Amino acid sequence: MLADKHRAEIEAILAKYPPEHRRSAAMPLLYLAQQEYGHVTQAALQEVAELIGADRTQVGSLVGFYTLYHDQPGGTYRLQICTDLPCALRGAETFAEKLCENLGVRLGGTTPDGMITVEGVMCLAGCDRAPMFQVQGADGIHYHENQTVESAMKVVDDLRRKSSHA
């Protein structure tokens, strides 16, 4: 369990919030769980809910809303393409479709090498620079704006090269 392995870190997170606002610790605790398991497991959702005194459904809604959290395993990197209406009007859906073709996956899928999961997300706050995506990996989140399939494939190639040297 998370509390057994990360007790000191959990206590430090909870100490940042007054007891009556313990629910505010949900996001950092979810992030800790995701770092531990690679995604937020159902058991981790329950544990975080118990730690903060909230319903599992309330904690789960955070995972469903924020692109930072994942409730399913995925690749080493998550390439998240903004596909909401303003970005779609700038070609994001076609971009996503063609990029997936190049990678040999469907939107939501992971490349056969387990390296890249491609996801469609809502609003990355760069509508005027679409098509755009963010890459989430162990080294943080990086944004890529005004993309073409070719420039996105270069990003993917760089990620693969970087992983092979790690």
pLDDT of residue 166: 63
Residue 25 has pLDDT above 90, yes or no: yes
Return the pLDDT at 67.
83
What are 82-122's pLDDT values in tens digits?
Answer: 999 999 999 999 999 999 999 999 999 999 999 999 999 98
Element (H, E) at 5: helix 2-5
How far is the C-alpha of 70 from the C-alpha of 77, rounded, in Å? 12
* % of the chain exceeding 90 in pLDDT: 80
Domains 2-65 and 77-164 equal at CATH topology level: no
User: Measured between alpha carbons, how far is 156 from 35 in angstroms, rounded to an integer?
Assistant: 22
Check residue 27 and give its pLDDT.
Answer: 95
Look up tokens 């329950």; give the residue: 46
- 2-65, superfamily in CATH? NADH-quinone oxidoreductase subunit E (1.10.10.1590)
Q: How far apart are CA 152 and CA 55, in angstroms?
A: 40
Distance CA 100, CA 62 (A): 27
What's the CA gap between 68 and 89, in Å, rounded?
24
Query: Could you tell me which of 160, 149, 70, 157 has the C-alpha nearest to residue 115?
Result: 160
State yes or no: pLDDT of 42 exceeds 90.
Answer: yes
Q: What is the mean pLDDT of the chain?
A: 93
Q: Which range (11-15, 17-21, 45-49, 136-140) has the least confidence? A: 136-140
CATH T-level assignment (fold) for domain 77-164: Glutaredoxin (3.40.30)
Domain ranges of the chain: 2-65, 77-164
